[in-house]
Amino acid sequence: MRRKIVAGNWKMNGSKDLSEKLVGYVRSESVSLDKGVEVVIIPPAIYIGDVVREAQGNISVGIQNVARWQSGAYTGEVSSEMAKDSGCCFALVGHSERRQLFGETDKMVAEKVSIVVGSGLTAIVCVGETLEERESGRAEVVVAGQVREGLSSVKQGDWQNIVLAYEPVWAIGTGKTATSDDAQAMHAAIRDVLRDMGAPADEIALLYGGSVKADNAADLFSEPDVDGGLIGGASLVAKEFMSICRSLSAGT
Ligand code: 13P
């Protein structure tokens, strides 16, 4: 059985206050979800301790980015081991904002995936094409390349610690969502690439991200290869985030 996951990526938003109130609400409401649905909160690193405390082990916590190194003289960086030590179970790797604003390449993604999995966390590896790449008909080729290169460091036996998130860049924060048909087509294509790489493709959770809201989540999650969502803006609004979680719950 594939994991079913709704993860809220707060990006550089939130506060101590939100960490307490929103996470407290999600924790208390999450008892009503289907048992198979995992809820993950991914706050800015500085609030991980607050979120872990408030989550009380009922919901999982992730980090938005980790260093490519285990430890040492890398001022300002946070290691995967430190995230684990602070209570994280997940780490995002290769979010398009990291790729576009901080120059992260597929090679760096592969290095981080190896470090994240090695420290015992589950990597949520983000892939997705730009509008230009989609309009020129190259979306599947671009995404397939990101999957192959970004996951090139994964060893047999480590695939259970890999989750993929397909986030078309043009859908992030824009209010434009991929249609459920387009999302399904890309997820099926990603699964084919994984199969071709020798991965247990049918067991790897594939999340969709990009302007997922309470009113479009059920449609997206109803697709056979969409195993959940990676939510940005809507994850900062407690009721809306829970409503998205419930859509997955209802779809399992
Ligand atoms: P939005 O849901 O705000 O479009 O962000 C998606 C995203 O980038 C999640 O990682």
- Domain with 107, as residue range(s), is 4-250
CA of 156 to the centre of ligand 1 (A): 30
Task: Mark whether 187 is an active-site residue.
Answer: no
User: What pLDDT score was predicted for residue 249?
Assistant: 73
Task: Mark whether 167 is an active-site residue.
Answer: yes
Angle between helices 48-55 and 16-29 (to 10 degrees): 30
User: What pLDDT score was predicted for residue 35?
Assistant: 87
- Catalytic residue chosen out of the listed positions 81, 97, 167, 240: 167
111 within 8 A of 70, measured Cβ to Cβ: no
**Residue 251 annotated as lining a ligand binding site:** no
Q: Which residues line ligand 1 (CB under 6 A)?
A: 9, 95, 167, 172-173, 209-212, 230-234
Residue 173 CA: which ligand 1 atom is closest?
4
User: What pLDDT score was predicted for residue 252?
Assistant: 44
Contacts of 19 (CB under 8 A, 6+ apart): 43, 47, 50, 51, 54
The total number of structural domains in the chain stands at: 1
User: What pLDDT score was predicted for residue 250?
Assistant: 53
CA of 181 to the centre of ligand 1 (A): 19
Nearest residue (by CA) to ligand 1, atom 5, is 232
User: What pLDDT score was predicted for residue 12?
Assistant: 98
CA of 111 to the centre of ligand 1 (A): 24
Residues of the chain short of pLDDT 70, as ranges, are: 250-252
How many whole angstroms separate alpha carbon 242 and alpha carbon 67? Answer: 31
